[in-house]
């Protein structure tokens, strides 16, 4: 290489979720070295994670190796390593074993569960953000029924078979609906000493209605659909305490061995890494071009970024928003690398909202188009299969859903990484 030749700019992207991957792909023709760093080896399709947690799909159905997705993008290198911090003065990303230099940095590190200051609840009320979270929740749901069957003391069975889901957003209603399906249909005839249909499933939402992102009449529909499926829905009910035997709410105590947390998220520590201004959820307040004020070559996107839409509402923390931000930032960097200016601000386009309650009932809101019931479910299924990465995954998921639609069966009812059931608590 000629010593006078300008060095190829280095773009580092931390996090290979929807935003980070989209940014990498948008840089595919840029004359730059792109390095994607993630602590996992796989991109996870989070909207279907609850189906792994409820034994409908296998982990490999909703996840795909990052380096395989980018294998044909010759300017992209993938490193599997946890990131420990950012040195904006030296322009390096500090990982477990390296200091990776950057000219442009994209932080797309996502969000994690927020227990609103009660991090000790995490041990008894797991949240659902990663494949490992999903298999952990799957294990605890399935073990609950297994333990109820072996328990000599029938008095404990009720508590063992009570499932509390905290949070009435999309993840919460999807988990509640799926657990109801498991208890009422999948496992209905598999036990001899207990009747899985007697399981109690309680969805607790602090606000006045479930699915607050949707119009009120959709919330009403979802609530009725959940109740028909056998879920108790409690709104305007804040959880004040979680422990290993149940939850306290403003409306009283619920004894339950199984608590699933779907109530809140907080951003990953990107704001600390950058020493940047953050909102209450820890998201970095970014400039209109998604860069960090004071660091024009550092961008924050997806669930880690806080930015307002034109109407003053925040850009929502959903997959399409992360993808749009990733694509935008990838193009901004590609333009700058090519010596072009790029000063159009980011603009979010809201395409719609989807959520599913159980087999045969979903809600879809796309502008003025609203679908519910079976048609909604069909639309929801097709949309999710379409956006899955990899033709094999699409095909396997389609077949698996069709199969379970016909049989009510869930093919991934495995209790793994656990040689024996947990000790009596």
CA distance 82 to 63: 18
Q: Which of 58, 114, 219, 249 binds its own copies (CB under 8 A)?
A: 58
Asked if 54 touches its own copies (CB under 8 A), the answer is: no
The CB density around residue 97, as the number of other CB atoms within 10 Å, is: 9
Asked if 132 touches its own copies (CB under 8 A), the answer is: yes
The span of 34-42, 163-171, 216-224, 241-249 binding its own copies (CB under 8 A) equals 34-42
What's the closest the beta carbon of residue 96 comes to its own copies, in angstroms? 7
Nearest Cα to 272, choosing from 291, 292, 302, 297? 292
CA distance 66 to 206: 37
Q: Which of 5, 89, 192, 312 binds its own copies (CB under 8 A)?
A: 192
Residue with smaller CB distance to its own copies, 56 or 298: 56
Total residues interacting with its own copies, rule: CB under 8 A: 62
Q: Which residues are catalytic?
A: 174
CA distance 169 to 177: 12
As beta bridge partners, residue 261 has 166
Asked if 347 touches its own copies (CB under 8 A), the answer is: no
Residue with smaller CB distance to its own copies, 370 or 394: 394
Q: Which of 103, 149, 195, 331 binds its own copies (CB under 8 A)?
A: 149
What's the closest the beta carbon of residue 81 comes to its own copies, in angstroms? 5
Q: Which of 117, 150, 155, 312 binds its own copies (CB under 8 A)?
A: 150
Q: Which of 8, 25, 77, 289 binds its own copies (CB under 8 A)?
A: 77
The helix-helix angle for 391-407 and 373-387 (nearest 10°) equals: 150
The helix-helix angle for 319-337 and 18-26 (nearest 10°) equals: 30
Q: Which of 31, 87, 120, 190 binds its own copies (CB under 8 A)?
A: 190
Q: Which two tokens stand for residue 115?
A: 């227990």
Q: Which of 29, 31, 87, 96 binds its own copies (CB under 8 A)?
A: 96
Q: Is 154 helix (H, G, I), strand (E, B) or coil?
A: helix
Q: Is 185 helix (H, G, I), strand (E, B) or coil?
A: helix
Beta strand spans in 321-372 (E): 353-358, 361-366, 369-371
DSSP 391-406: HHHHHHHHHHHHHHHH
- Residues near its own copies (CB under 8 A): 39-42, 58-61, 63, 65, 67-68, 71-72, 76-82, 95-98, 131-132, 135, 142-143, 146, 149-152, 189-193, 390, 392-393, 395-396, 399-400, 403, 407, 409, 411-421, 424
């Amino acid at each position: 290489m000629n010593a006078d030749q300008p060095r190829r700019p280095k773009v580092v992207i931390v996090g290979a979720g929807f935003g980070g991957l989209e940014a990498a792909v948008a840089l595919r023709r840029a004359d730059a070295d792109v390095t994607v760093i993630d602590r996992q080896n796989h991109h996870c399709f989070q909207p279907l994670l609850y189906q792994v947690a409820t034994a409908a799909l296998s982990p490999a159905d909703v996840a795909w190796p990052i380096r395989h997705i980018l294998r044909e993008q010759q300017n992209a290198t993938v490193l599997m390593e946890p990131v420990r911090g950012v040195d904006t003065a030296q322009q390096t990303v500090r990982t477990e074993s390296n200091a990776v230099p950057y000219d442009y940095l994209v932080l797309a590190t996502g969000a994690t569960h927020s227990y609103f200051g009660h991090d000790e609840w995490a041990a008894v009320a797991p949240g659902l953000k990663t494949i490992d979270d999903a298999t952990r929740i799957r294990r605890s749901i399935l073990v609950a029924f297994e333990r109820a069957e072996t328990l000599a003391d029938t008095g404990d069975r009720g508590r063992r078979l009570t499932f509390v889901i905290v949070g009435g957003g999309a993840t919460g209603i999807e988990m509640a609906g799926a657990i109801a399906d498991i208890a009422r249909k999948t496992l209905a005839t598999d036990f001899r000493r207990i009747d899985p249909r007697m399981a109690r499933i309680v969805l607790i939402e602090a606000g006045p209605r479930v699915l607050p992102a949707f119009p009120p009449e959709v919330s009403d529909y979802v609530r009725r659909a959940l109740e028909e499926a056998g879920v108790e829905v409690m709104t305007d009910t804040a959880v004040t305490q979680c422990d290993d035997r149940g939850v306290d709410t403003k409306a009283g105590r619920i004894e339950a061995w199984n608590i699933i947390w779907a109530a809140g998220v907080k951003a990953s520590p990107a704001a600390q890494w950058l020493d940047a201004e953050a909102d209450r959820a820890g998201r970095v307040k970014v400039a209109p071009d998604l860069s960090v004020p004071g660091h024009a070559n550092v961008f924050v996107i997806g669930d880690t970024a806080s930015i307002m839409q034109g109407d003053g509402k925040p850009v929502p923390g959903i997959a399409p928003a992360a993808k749009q931000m990733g694509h935008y930032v990838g193009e901004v960097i590609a333009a700058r690398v090519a010596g072009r200016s790029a000063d159009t601000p980011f603009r979010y386009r809201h395409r719609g909202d989807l959520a599913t309650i159980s087999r045969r009932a979903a809600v879809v809101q796309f502008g003025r188009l609203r679908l519910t019931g079976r048609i909604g479910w069909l639309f929801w299924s097709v949309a999710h299969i379409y956006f899955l990465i990899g033709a094999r995954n699409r095909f396997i998921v389609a077949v698996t859903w069709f199969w379970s639609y016909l049989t009510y069966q869930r093919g991934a009812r495995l209790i793994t990484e656990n040689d024996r059931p947990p000790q009596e608590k």
